[in-house]
């Protein structure tokens, strides 16, 4: 179940900045999806959403739950979102898209209980060139981690737990 999805486009004025001289057209800089979801994430849906004939590079990032953190064994995690999380995610992605050469971007962050190996975030970016797609994807992941009001509770195998990124 998707709680909130945000499709949208960046203004035409922003599209003209940083034009790649090898392009026929300026980058579209489209935000095709931002969402906070309780359901498992589908990488293929994100890739399909950003596929574009203008794009030679398509980068996908999956942030999966790992079995350790800080030298301690993790048995599971839970993500909880502030009510503003969906709008903040849309804002963050739109901001990054304005600063990059992306053709299209799709991002979903998961909330709720997640097990080992499940995806907590999926980011897909298409761009004319691979370096543009990699750069935009990395920037989105960094900005989401820094700005998104989602908190993580880690449960350790020794029975303890801790909240991460919680004010």
Quote the pLDDT of residue 59: 98
| Residue 25 pLDDT greater than 90, yes or no | no
Alpha carbon separation from 8 to 90, 104, 106, 161 (Å, rounded): 9, 10, 11, 38
Quote the pLDDT of residue 26: 86
As a whole number of angstroms, the distance between CA 57 and CA 125 comes to 8
Quote the pLDDT of residue 2: 41
- pTM for this entry: 0.86
| Residue 12 pLDDT greater than 60, yes or no | no
Question: Could you give the domains of the chain?
Answer: 2-8+34-164 (3.90.1170.40)
As a whole number of angstroms, the distance between CA 95 and CA 90 comes to 9
User: DSSP secondary structure string, 86-120?
Assistant: HHHHHHHHHHHHHTS-EEEEEEEEE-EEE-TT-EE
Give tens-digit pLDDT for 119-164: 999 999 999 999 999 999 999 999 999 999 999 999 999 999 999 8
Give me the mean pLDDT over the 94-109 stretch: 96
Q: Which of 123, 119, 89, 126 is CA-nearest to residue 6?
A: 89
Work out whether strand 72-81 and strand 150-156 pair parallel, antiparallel, or are unpaired. Answer: antiparallel
pLDDT band at 165 (very low <50, low <70, confident <90, very high): confident
């Amino acid at each position: 179940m998707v709680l909130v999805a945000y499709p949208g486009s960046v203004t035409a004025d922003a599209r003209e900045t940083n034009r790649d001289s090898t392009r026929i057209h300026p980058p579209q800089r489209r935000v095709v999806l931002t969402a906070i979801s309780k359901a498992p994430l589908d990488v293929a849906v994100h890739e399909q959403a950003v596929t574009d004939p203008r794009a030679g590079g398509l980068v996908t990032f999956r942030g999966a739950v790992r079995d350790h953190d800080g030298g301690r064994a993790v048995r599971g995690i839970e993500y909880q979102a502030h009510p503003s999380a969906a709008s903040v995610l849309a804002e963050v992605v739109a901001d990054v898209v304005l600063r990059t050469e992306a053709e299209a971007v799709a991002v979903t962050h998961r909330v709720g209980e997640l097990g080992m190996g499940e995806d907590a975030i999926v980011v897909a970016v298409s761009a004319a060139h691979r370096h543009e797609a990699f750069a935009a994807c990395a920037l989105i992941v960094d900005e989401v981690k820094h700005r998104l009001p989602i908190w993580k509770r880690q449960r350790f195998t020794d029975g303890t737990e801790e909240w991460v990124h919680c004010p």
